[in-house]
Amino acid sequence: MGFCCHCHHHCWRSIQKYHPVSQLITSSSSEIAATIEQQERTASQQAAAVNETTTTMDELGASSRQSTEQADAAASAAQEVLKLTDSGNHAVQETLEGMEDLQKKVAAIAEQTMRLSEQTNQIGNISQVVTDLANQTNMLALNAAVEAVRAGEQGKGFSVVATEIRKLADQSKQSAERIGGLVSDIQNAINVTVMVTDEGTKTVRSEMEIAQRTAQTFSSVAESINNVVINNQQISLNIRQQNKAVQQVLEAMSSINQGAQETASGLNQTKVGTKQLNEASVELLAII
């Protein structure tokens, strides 16, 4: 009987020794549980933030892809316009070359017309000389006829010759006058041709100036469009780089999300283990 009491007392003292330890375990497991719950909330917030960031980055990636497509389309359209501008510039250059040839031809016609005018003037001068000579010859023949009449029978033959000379002089005068009339008509026609040629030269020069300004405009437009093409290509390149960076961020966020899920899983397992430990501590305290 005494031995049993002694053993019971000894066991009770041993159990009493574990009572503070059990309380400490219970308290620690509660603190751990609270900490784990806080970590779970933090992990949940992080997961939500990661998901929200991932969604935002997805939207940014979609926007970047759309911007890339639009920039590529704009660059393609600008290149088409640039081709059309080059074609227009080429056509204007061909027009300029044609106008330059036309200007040379008009200048050659003007030069030939001026030479023809000079030659016509010379013909008119010669015709006037012939007319003057015919008048002088007529006067001389008339004087010769008068002298032949005075000479009587001896001057009859000479009178006939003088009469024929007068007839020839009159014919020469009439021919010279007709030539003068024709020369005058030719000169008038030449003057009209000169005026028309001058107008044509002015028109060609004006059209050439317009074509040159048009060519300069085409060149300026082509340069501007080329700058647009270069800028669009640079924008497209920048957007592609941005899209690549977005993809890298998405991959990093995916890794973070996976790590957060693994952390949440580990916290859940720890929470379960802590709960079991807490329950065991409570049971132990109840026994003690």
260 versus 189: the higher-pLDDT residue is 189
Residue 6 confidence (pLDDT): 45
Number of domains, the chain: 1
Angle at which helix 2-151 crosses helix 156-287, to 10 degrees, equals 180
The closest of 178, 58, 194 to 124, measured between CA atoms, is 178
Domain at 95, CATH number: 1.10.287.950
The pLDDT of 4-16, averaged and rounded, is 46
How far apart CA 237 and CA 248 sit, in angstroms, is 17
For the residues 31-36, what does the mean pLDDT come to?
69
What's the rounded mean pLDDT across residues 142-170?
Answer: 77
Measured distance CA(80)–CA(84) in Å, rounded: 6
**How many other CB atoms are there within 10 angstroms of residue 24's CB atom?**
11
Mean pLDDT of 14-25: 53
pLDDT band for position 105 (50/70/90)?
confident
Residue the block writes with tokens 């993809």: 247
Mean pLDDT within 74-91: 81
Predicted local distance difference test score (pLDDT) of residue 27:
63
Alpha-carbon distances of 196 from 102, 135, 193, 246, 247, rounded to whole Å: 14, 38, 5, 73, 74
Res 259 pLDDT > 80 = no
Per-residue pLDDT tens digits for 192-204: 888 888 888 888 8
Q: Which of 186, 187, 185, 172 is nearest to 129 (CA)?
A: 172
CA distance 93 to 112: 29
**Which is more confidently placed, 11 or 122?**
122
Residue 109 has, within 13 A of its CA and on its CB side, a CA count of 18
Q: pTM for the full model?
A: 0.51
Per the model's pLDDT, the better-predicted residue between 3 and 196 turns out to be 196
In this prediction, residue 241 carries a pLDDT of: 84
Mean pLDDT of 136-152: 79
Q: Is the pLDDT score of 42 beyond 70?
A: yes
CB 127 within 8 A of CB 176: yes
DSSP class per residue in 149-162:
HHHGGGGHHHHHHH
Domain that holds residue 198: 2-287
Q: How far apart are the first and last CA of the chain?
A: 24
- Go through 6-18 and write b for each residue having 16 or more CB atoms within 10 A of its CB, e for each that does not: eeeeeeeeeeeee
- Token pair in block for residue 263: 């952390």
> 25: Cβ–Cβ under 8 A, 6 or more apart, which residues?
277, 281, 284
Asked if the model's pLDDT at residue 21 lies above 60, the reply is no
152 φ/ψ sector (left φ>0, alpha ψ -120 to 50, else beta): left
The rounded Cα 50 to chain-centroid distance in angstroms is 44
pLDDT of residue 44: 77
In this predicted structure, the answer to whether residue 240 has a pLDDT above a threshold of 50 is: yes
Per-residue pLDDT at 22? 53
What's the 3-state SS for 92-105? HHHHHHHHHHHHHH
